[in-house]
Structure 1
Amino acid sequence: MRWVVLVLLFFGMIINFADKSIIGLAAVPIMEDLNLSYAEWGLVGSAYYWLYPVTGIVGAAIGDRFGAKKVLGVIMLVWAVLQFGVLAVAALPLLVVYRILLGAFEGPFSPIAYSHANKWFPPKLRGFANSVVVSGGTVGAMIVAPVLVALISIFGWKIAFACLGATSIVWAIAFQFLTKENPVKAYEQTKKKKKAKLEKLKLKDFGRLLVSPPALFTTLAYFSTYILVVWIAVWLPVYLVEVVGMSQGQMGYGVMIIGIASVLIYMGVSTLSDRMFKKNQNWRISRVYVVGTSMIIGAICLASIMIFQHPVWVVAAMCIAKGLTYAILPIGPTIMINELPERGGLMTSILTSSGNIAGIVAPLITGFILNLAGADEILGYNLSVLFMAILVFIFAILFLTLVKPTIRKQEESLESQASGN
């Protein structure tokens, strides 16, 4: 059953990121149909993130209380309604409202998915499980893109959006009928205790937890990596063409190679972390040291492309940099959940919301750096790369030296028993 849950969460993440990326793939026909200026299109692009961080936290808290199965099913059906609603969009205001609502209801998916996977898998497999969920985002944003482009070209952008809505309905039905909320009855034995803890959680205590080293520096490491995530999504294609000198075709293959290789790398790091944890049961060695070291190496590789800008090296370095820095994405949620297990969705929502804040500020930072460079665009792009490398390096060092996860041997034993069947 747990593998069925994981596969469905993987496909759910694919749909989530396909919903995000299709707006960019359909930019030209949308702007032509609705007669939008670049400024208006910028408004459409940013509207998605206006409520995303807030609803990510609120939705995750609701998921903790009412169960991931119910909440994920509901929000996926809302996605379907919104995607079918695009058929009625005929002007800018409706398009902006659609993007705001889509972002609001997609915000909770990632934290709830991480928390749900954490529930079904024992500690020794959680890094791998989360890496599978994370990889769904890469597939949805990069590998599914040609399919979406084909749909847009053949049937038009509105029908393509509606097709994603139909996919959401299929997923919601499958998730309700093929999965369960909890792994085994052993997990139910702790349910009353966890509900009691949910009621006793105070805002002041939660605030203290968020500024504790494990939560604070894990969040900052996650945030720094998401700056790179957004840069890769928005600026990498332009960087490969204008700075590295690739053709459009070479750029396309380069982006695809980086996406596939990085998935294999961060899944490998997650598997290594899981195996080390299985052997030594030491959170600091198996989780913090492995991820922190990976991020530091990744930051150095990222910085190296400023010096060595041969296309082959740039693609290779980006594969390594993206794969190693992304290690915090699957492992970070396990560390956060460990600090407050009964509020797993809420804790992971802190991470995902920090990432979404990065999604808002990262394009602005890169644009500011490019403006500082003036006419020398190559210098501007290289400075943006250096900025990200330094940011990841600093927060990786802080993560590596200051994060000491809480030891919960008894709870891990119970959860292993619950997740083992």
Structure 2
Amino acid sequence: MNDSPGFQRRPAWVITAMLTGLATINFLDKVVFGMVAVPLMAEMQLSPAQFGLIAGSFFWLFSTSTVAVGFLSNRVQTRWILLAMGVSWAVMQVPQALATSAIALLVCRVLLGAAEGPSFPVSIHALYKWFPDQKRNLPVSIIAQGAALGLLLAGLLIPLVTREWGWRANFIILGVVGVIWSLLWLYIGREGNLGAQTGQSGGRGNGAEFVERLPYRTILTDPSVVSTFLLGFAAYWMLGQNLTWLPTYLEKGLGFNSIQAGRWFAVVTEVAAPVNIGLSWLSQRMLQRGASTRQARAQFVCLMMITGAALFLLLPLLHLSPVQRVILLTIAGALPTLCFTLAPALLAEVVPSSQRGAIVAINTAVASLGAAISPVVMGRIVQMRGSVGEQAYELGFVTGAALLIATALIGLRWLHPEHSNRALKRSTPAVTA
């Protein structure tokens, strides 16, 4: 019998399914703004720079709320935190649908970002209470694919909804979906207690030896933790850039109509899902065959980010057709997403379980700053170079690619989870608060 004591398979997978649904809604909320960019900018007479500012504002309070709720999740049951987030997301769709000015939209996006910021770290923290360490890779990967499903549905459905009922109808539909999920979660959602029973920190079978708590200054200055944060920053930079500007690049840069652009956007996100799952599985197989987490997680994710960056760099250098450019962009964008799956596992190996929720939240907060900055940078590049033609958009992709390479090289040099695990255990006495 390989199951850990206290592991409940069926309810654990039910919770996984619900959290995957939440991730789907989360990314629909994120991407809808970029998907309606063309009609929205035309109706409200927004310049590319203004639109990029409003799109990036989604992440202004994203980090602050993520950290605050991350610390709260160490003390309050995650089932109630997730319910509060689901309800608030649904409510915030209404003022977005009714907004008549750029300022109103900006305020709505800031507040929605604050409500959605803690979603991923709280979901991971909740999931880790249901699954032991050796069984966590797959459910975390599935939740990540909930995000990919949200992007796929956005690409297929949002252009159709916009064509039939206008861009505002998308926000009303998302509000209804959020209400339905919240009602289901109120009935189904439960709190796992596996972490409390096992006392594991997330390390590979040695978490019980970890001190109960460590000073946050010690954790946050550890080279592996800092390197993981930087990798997440670069990955989120590309995510925020793609969610905001990829639909516009497909339409105005490559010349596809709105329906075609939506379908190609769906292709890009659909490919990311099996690539992420496949790479996560390969990482797990490497671990099972005796590879260290330095090799199977740290070095592996860094190499995938460098490979993705290299493909982004090829976009402006090769003479490709629009379809060939989309294919290249699809592969390039899929590889860095592995960071979203492996970063929580790397951090869980290093830090005590009693502080895991806060550290994963801080990671998301720091990383999401990249998504707050990149739409603005891309918007300014597009405005300076002209919004018609692919060159301006591809220059923005190159900027993100340079960041991917820089942070991956840092990770290859300083990301050593096993070393950090041992160093943190012996470096500082436990604290009680």
Q: Does the alignment reach a TM-score above 0.5?
A: yes
Measured at CA, do residues 285 and 246 of structure 1 come closer, stay the same or move farther in structure 2, by a change above 3 Å? same
The amino acid that maps onto 2:85 is I
- 2:147 is matched with which residue: 113, 125, 137? 137
- Matching residue of 1:169: 179
Structure 2 CA distance, aligned partners of 1:253 and 1:89?
27
The amino acid that maps onto 1:318 is L
Structure 1 CA distance, aligned partners of 2:362 and 2:348?
11
TM-score (norm 2): 0.80
Cα deviation, residue 269, structure 1: 0.5
1:12-51 equivalences under 5 Å are 12-26=22-36, 36-38=44-46, 44-51=54-61
The answer to whether residue 157 in structure 2 is matched with residue 147 in structure 1 is: yes
- 1:187 is matched with which residue: 185, 188, 196? 196
Deviations 1:300-349 (A, max 9, x none): 22222232242344233222222221111111111122222222222222
- Matching residue of 2:341: 330
Instruction: Specify every segment of 5 or more residues in structure 2 that has no aligned partner in the other structure, as ranges.
Output: 1-10, 201-206, 423-433
What secondary structure does 1:50 align onto? coil
Deviates more, 1:354-363 or 1:124-133: 124-133
- 1:319 is matched with which residue: 325, 330, 335? 330
Query: Relative to total residues, which structure has the larger helix share, 1 or 2?
Result: 1
Measured at CA, do residues 207 and 30 of structure 1 come closer, stay the same or move farther in structure 2, by a change above 3 Å? same
- Matching residue of 1:291: 301
Deviates more, 1:65-74 or 1:235-244: 235-244
Structure 2 CA distance, aligned partners of 1:112 and 1:69?
9
Deviates more, 1:266-275 or 1:139-148: 139-148
- 2:288 is matched with which residue: 267, 278, 288? 278
Cα deviation, residue 181, structure 1: 0.9
Measured at CA, do residues 296 and 29 of structure 1 come closer, stay the same or move farther in structure 2, by a change above 3 Å? closer
Structure 1 CA distance, aligned partners of 2:23 and 2:267?
20
The amino acid that maps onto 1:207 is R
Cα deviation, residue 217, structure 1: 0.9
The answer to whether the Cα contact below 8 Å between 2:253 and 2:388 also exists between their aligned partners in 1 is no
Deviates more, 1:168-177 or 1:211-220: 168-177
- 2:358 is matched with which residue: 330, 346, 350? 346
- 1:404 is matched with which residue: 411, 416, 419? 416
Aligned residues: 400
Deviations 1:121-169 (A, max 9, x none): 3333433322222222232234234434444555565554333223222
Cα deviation, residue 369, structure 1: 4.4
Cα deviation, residue 109, structure 1: 0.8
Structure 2 CA distance, aligned partners of 1:373 and 1:28?
18
The answer to whether residue 396 in structure 2 is matched with residue 393 in structure 1 is: no
The answer to whether the Cα contact below 8 Å between 1:124 and 1:274 also exists between their aligned partners in 2 is no
What secondary structure does 1:235 align onto? helix
Structure 2 CA distance, aligned partners of 1:5 and 1:337?
20
Measured at CA, do residues 404 and 233 of structure 1 come closer, stay the same or move farther in structure 2, by a change above 3 Å? same
Instruction: Specify every segment of 5 or more residues in structure 1 that has no aligned partner in the other structure, as ranges.
Output: 410-421
TM-score (norm 1): 0.82
Deviates more, 1:216-225 or 1:308-317: 308-317
Structure 2 CA distance, aligned partners of 1:256 and 1:81?
27
The amino acid that maps onto 2:196 is Y
Cα deviation, residue 54, structure 1: 0.4
Structure 1 CA distance, aligned partners of 2:98 and 2:312?
44
The answer to whether the Cα contact below 8 Å between 1:227 and 1:362 also exists between their aligned partners in 2 is yes
1:56-75 equivalences under 5 Å are 56-75=66-85
